[in-house]
Amino acid sequence: MQKDDLLRLMRDPNLLSSEKQTLLSSIAAQAAAMDMPCYIVGGFVRDLLLGQPVNDLDIVVEGDAIKFGKSLVKKFGGKLTTHDKFHTAIWQLSSSFILHPSSLDLITARKETYSQPGALPAVTSSTIENDLRRRDFTINAMAVRIDGDHFGELLDPLDGQADLEAGLIRALHPRSFMDDPTRIFRAIRYEARYSFNLESSTLNLINPESLFVIQTLSGERIRHELDLIFEEENSSQMILRAGEFGLFKMIHPKLPLFNPDYSDFLEMDSTLDIPTSRATTGYMLWLMDSSEDEILSIGRRLDFTSDLTYSIWAVSQLKKSLPFLVGSKPSVWTFALEKLPPLSIYVVYLVSREDALLDFLSIWRHVKPHTTGNNLKARGLEPGPRFGEILTQLRAAWLDGDVTNKQQEQDLLNQIT
Ligand code: ATP
């Protein structure tokens, strides 16, 4: 692509907000003042060339990124978090830049070597070209130089642009997935996100040898990749594809395939007033038909929080007990459901379409009697377990329609106390 064409894209406010353009110019000016070659890399370049709005700004400098970051903070404010070992920094922008996300990564151009498959790489400072060569796919291995007169120069040593045009995900070398099998998950994400294809020799690199290395990845790294998948719009396509490739058995022998019958529910946004998370919903749908032991063991492997494991367990338990609840009075439903996480209940609703679950979430759980503990005390009753029983009885009466106004509640209260 010609420099002018690229500049036109970089000045398009639909692709790069004017706030981001201002930030880029500020960074570019500072890099030029320090005589430090400075590049935007990765997803930014890929999405810009695809004519799609860009999100993250990942900055790579040929020089010391920490020193560069300190000078940016001095000039433009904000805060710097440094990682001395990797010569990288995160610049938390000051509020004068109204941006989302409000931080950006500053990286020293580097080379990586892997001592053994799946391990984290050893890192040494290097050139931008070597920095691009350590990346995952050609479409992510392009850079745009921004310092001074170089603003808008495209660096594409691995022909990423051609692959973008052809819609191909191509690994950079045959050991790529052995070095870092998280790239297999990444390939699956890009494939479905952009409706691209895995280039044929890259596809062949997803083989028993590289799949085997998945076993050595930490739970946290795998879960991070799965979280990213669930955050995507086409997550169902991705999670089904990951199953087809045989990734799951390598993660945990009991990790099931994702049930395609549930795939539509991944994309569903709840209109209810409950905290939702696409990833949590994804894991619930995925594991709801697993046994209790399997859920616990898979949760340990994937480093789930205890809350997440509990929420998945709650889905599986509720789904199993549903036949025993169907036809019950609202109060029975309410007292059975009340202790469970609302999202677990919603997910069981998605797969069962049992109306009572929705009634509970939208109406019943909010129903409370007018009478309070203080009212009971004022009637001369001694505080104790009996208080709870009385209030529960009043609540049940409201839920089941036995009382429908304040006077009826009073009458019932008089009757039972
Ligand atoms: P996305 O839109 O998926 O977030 P991105 O390109 O911004 O895309 P990041 O995960 O933020 O993705 O990574 C930034 C860049 O770092 C990538 O474009 C790629 O060049 C490189 N990268 C990320 N993960 C890996 C990896 N596992 N191996 C090699 N390079 C990677």
Provide DSSP, 118-158: TSPPEEEE--HHHHHHTSSBGGG--EEE-SGGGTTEEE-TT
Cα dihedral: 199, 201, 207, 211 (round 10):
-60
Whether the CB-CB separation of 16 and 6 falls below 8 Å is answered with no
The CATH architecture assigned to 172-251 reads: Orthogonal Bundle (1.10)
pLDDT in tens, 336-386: 999 999 999 999 999 999 999 999 999 999 999 999 989 999 988 888 889
Ligand 1 binding pocket includes 78 (Cβ within 6 Å): no
pLDDT in tens, 194-206: 999 999 999 999 9
Residue 311, pLDDT score: 97
Mean pLDDT of 28-36: 96
pLDDT in tens, 138-160: 999 999 999 999 999 999 999 99
Give the nearest ligand 1 atom to 46 CA.
6
- Read off the tokens for 273: 């007033």
Residue 116 pLDDT class (50, 70, 90 cuts): confident
Ligand 1 binding pocket includes 64 (Cβ within 6 Å): no
Residue 193, pLDDT score: 97
Q: Measured in angstroms, how far is the CA atom of residue 149 from the centroid of ligand 1?
A: 27
Whether the CB-CB separation of 163 and 157 falls below 8 Å is answered with no
Contacts of 256-259 with C-beta under 8 Å, sequence gap 24+, read 256/286, 256/287, 256/289, 256/290, 258/285, 258/286, 259/285, 259/286, 259/289
Give the nearest ligand 1 atom to 47 CA.
2
Mean pLDDT of 281-290: 97
Residue 203, pLDDT score: 98
Burial pattern 147-166, b for ≥16 Cβ within 10 A else e, equals beebbbebbbebebbebbee
Q: What is the mean pLDDT of the chain?
A: 94
Ligand 1, atom 1, residue with closest C-alpha: 43
Percentage of the chain with pLDDT > 70? Answer: 100
Query: Does 1-166 carry CATH code 3.30.460.10?
Result: yes
How is the chain split into domains, by residue range? Answer: 1-166, 172-251, 259-366, 373-416
Ligand 1 binding pocket includes 135 (Cβ within 6 Å): yes
pLDDT in tens, 249-283: 999 999 999 999 999 998 877 777 888 889 999 99
Residue 95 pLDDT class (50, 70, 90 cuts): confident
Residue 121, pLDDT score: 82
Q: Taking 90 as the threshold, does the pLDDT of residue 417 lie above it?
A: no
Residue 82 — φ and ψ, nearest 5°?
-110, 150
Whether the CB-CB separation of 63 and 73 falls below 8 Å is answered with no
Mean pLDDT of 382-397: 92
Residue 49, pLDDT score: 96
For residue 109, give the nearest of 59, 150, 158 by alpha carbon: 59
Q: Measured in angstroms, how far is the CA atom of residue 173 from the centroid of ligand 1?
A: 16
Residue 118 pLDDT class (50, 70, 90 cuts): confident
**d(C-alpha 53, C-alpha 46), whole Å:** 10
Residue 125 pLDDT class (50, 70, 90 cuts): confident
pLDDT in tens, 301-346: 999 999 999 999 999 999 999 999 999 999 999 999 999 999 999 9
Q: Measured in angstroms, how far is the CA atom of residue 391 from the centroid of ligand 1?
A: 55
Ligand 1 binding pocket includes 344 (Cβ within 6 Å): no
**d(C-alpha 318, C-alpha 186), whole Å:** 34
